[in-house]
Amino acid sequence: MNFDDTPQEAAFRETARKWIEANAPKEFLAELSKSSLGRIRLANHDIVDVGKAWQKKKAEGNWACLHWPKEYGGRGATPIERVIWQQEEGVYGKLTQPFQIGEGMCGPTVMAFGSEDAKRRHLPRLAAGEEIWCQLFSEPSAGSDVAGLRTRAEKKGDNWVVNGQKIWTSGAHYSDYGLLIARTDPNVPKHKGLTMFFLDMRSPGVEVRPIKQANGMQEFNEVYFTDVVIPDSQRLGAIGEGWSVSLTTLMNERMSIGSRLATGVPEMFEFCSNLMLEDGLAIDDPAVRSKLASWAVKSSGLKYTSYRAISALSKGDRPGPENSIGKLVSGMMLQDIATYAMDLQGAAGVLTGSDEETVQGQFQQMLLSSPSMRIAGGTDEILRNIIAERVLGLPGDIRVDKDVPYNKIPTKGR
């Protein structure tokens, strides 16, 4: 048991470190290091522009999408090399945020199901940050039950005509392409009538509308489709096979380990170390210490769980399902920490400005944003179902709509 690299891994790390040292946009280091908890803002620059420049540079140095094959813009690296790269890229990795859906989900799906022409045309551009991709799965009436989606694609000659609406699409407003799942046959049970496509987000009939979120920000979008034409050559997988194609997409996302989720623990530890209560420092208060310790061991537990997964990768094994716990644990923890930090602030905790008492409102922002952590990318409840069914082997839910033709499924409770 050790934390050491193999000689090969150490050599790879050294090469990566040197390249990053020589090429990273150091002028943003301070700002990137400061902005924790997911929200990245640069004072005088657009994060997408800076991200594109970094992605381009990485692609030129052969460091973009490094687990992809070389002919599609990658490096042909092993999974453990990808993890080492992420560790070395450190805070600069935050600049890759606009490309993560493309790299993690859309790209691998195109790689598995796209034509050779589509792969050669899009993947290297995706890797180089010249194309940003988004994922068009969720709908207003199909969230956790994504197979219940309504967006229709109808065959007209060599083309498909799409009508409907998607929602929660991160980055749709700056994306060049989208991965779209749509219903091509409403007369069969819901999982069987779906087909996967990709489309140019600038196609006529595509309209992107930002959603104002509960935390006041706008990061997600609604995307409307009105008679949007997609050539059949942009279909991914067979007609009616969209569901199994989407599982490939989602499985690829789960494979991307090593990316650390924010837990709020370092911020909370620092806050409690400096906060003066009536009887002294908050961190000297037994009640505070007890909570802090419980959060700290959850956070370290997640860290070492990811180390176990990395070790499995290093040996060439597939990481186990224990990785599915990360978002479940950290989402709830962020919300609890925010609530408790504000409790310690007392009356001033209600303030959300740049007040000194509330350390610039960081926990207030955490409170307002944390609900999305427990919903996006699989709700807490869906994640618990996944653990219960795929890890513990408990029975799947009884699905009353499983064998019913899609157009016979009730759409309202009453």
14 binds other proteins (CB under 8 A): no
What sign has the CA pseudo-torsion 160, 164, 166, 172? Answer: positive
E strand spans, 201-336: 206-210, 221-231, 235-236, 276-277, 280-281
User: Under DSSP, is residue 229 helix (H, G, I), strand (E, B) or coil?
Assistant: strand
Q: Is 322 in the site for other proteins (CB under 8 A)?
A: yes
State how beta strands 159-167 and 221-231 pair: antiparallel
Structure-block tokens of residue 35: 């902005």
Nearer of residues 1 and 400 to other proteins, judged by Cβ: 1
Query: Should residue 302 be labelled a site residue for other proteins when binding is judged by CB under 8 A?
Result: yes
**Least distance to other proteins, CB of residue 340, Å:** 15
- Is residue 318 within the footprint of other proteins (CB under 8 A)? no
User: Which span sits near other proteins by CB under 8 A: 14-22, 103-111, 241-249, 304-312?
Assistant: 304-312
Among 15-23, 190-198, 296-304, 334-342, which window interacts with other proteins (CB under 8 A)? 296-304
x/- map, 227-266, other proteins, by CB under 8 A: ----------------------------------------
Out of 42, 161, 255, 283, which residue is the one contacting other proteins (CB under 8 A)? 283
CA–CA distances in Å: residue 20 to residues 54, 159, 173, 369, 386: 11, 45, 30, 32, 38
Alpha helices in 144-241 (DSSP H): none
300 touching other proteins, by CB under 8 A: yes
Whole-number minimum distance, CB 399 to other proteins, in Å? Answer: 11
Q: 205, 216, 231, 301: which one contacts other proteins (CB under 8 A)?
A: 301
Q: Is 216 in the site for other proteins (CB under 8 A)?
A: no
* Contact call for residues 225 and 165 (beta carbons, < 8 A): yes
Q: Is 379 one of the binding residues for other proteins (CB under 8 A)? A: no
Q: Which one is catalytic: 222, 241, 253, 322? A: 253
Map tokens 């499995």 to a residue.
Answer: 312
Give the torsion through C-alpha atoms of 201, 223, 36, 280, to 10 deg.
Answer: 170
DSSP state of 316: T
Cα–Cα dist 175/102, whole Å:
10
Q: Which stretch binds other proteins (CB under 8 A): 39-47, 169-177, 222-230, 305-313?
A: 305-313
Taking Cα atoms as reference points, which of 217, 341, 318, 310 lies closest to residue 4? Answer: 310
Near other proteins by CB under 8 A: residue from 315, 353, 400, 412 = 315
Interface residue with other proteins, options 22, 276, 347, 392 (CB under 8 A): 392
- The reply to whether 297 sits near other proteins by the rule CB under 8 A is yes
CB 196 within 8 A of CB 247: no
Could you tell me the smallest distance in angstroms from the CB atom of residue 33 to other proteins? 17
Write out the DSSP string of 136-164.
Answer: E--BTTBSSSGGG---EEEEETTEEEEEE
Q: What is the DSSP letter of 189?
A: B
**316 interacts with other proteins by CB under 8 A:** no
Which of the stretches 95-103, 166-174, 238-246, 288-296 binds other proteins when contact is defined by CB under 8 A?
A: 288-296
Q: Which of 215, 385, 404, 405 binds other proteins (CB under 8 A)?
A: 385
- Is 253 considered catalytic here? yes
Query: For residues 83 and 257, is the Cβ–Cβ distance under 8 A?
Result: yes
Taking the complex as a whole, the smallest distance from the CB of residue 300 to other proteins amounts, in Å, to 5
Burial of 36 per CB tally in 10 Å (0-12, 13-18, 19+): middle
Tokens of 263: 């837990």
Nearer to other proteins, 9 or 219 (CB): 9
Q: Which is nearer to other proteins, 161 or 277 (CB)?
A: 277
292 binds other proteins (CB under 8 A): yes
CA-CA distance, 30 to 32, in Å (whole number)? 6
Pick the closer one to other proteins by CB: 204 or 286. 286
**With CB under 8 A, what is the number of residues at the site for other proteins?**
50
Q: What are phi and psi of 99, to 5 degrees?
A: -105, -5
Are the C-beta atoms of residues 380 and 374 closer than 8 Å to each other?
A: yes
The residue with tokens 């194309």 is 131
Residue 389 interacts with other proteins (CB under 8 A): yes or no: yes
Least distance to other proteins from the beta carbon of 289, Å? 5
What residues are labeled active site?
253
List residues near other proteins by CB under 8 A.
1-5, 9, 269, 273, 283, 286, 289-290, 292-294, 296-298, 300-305, 307-308, 310-312, 314-315, 322, 325, 328-329, 381, 383-385, 387-389, 391-398
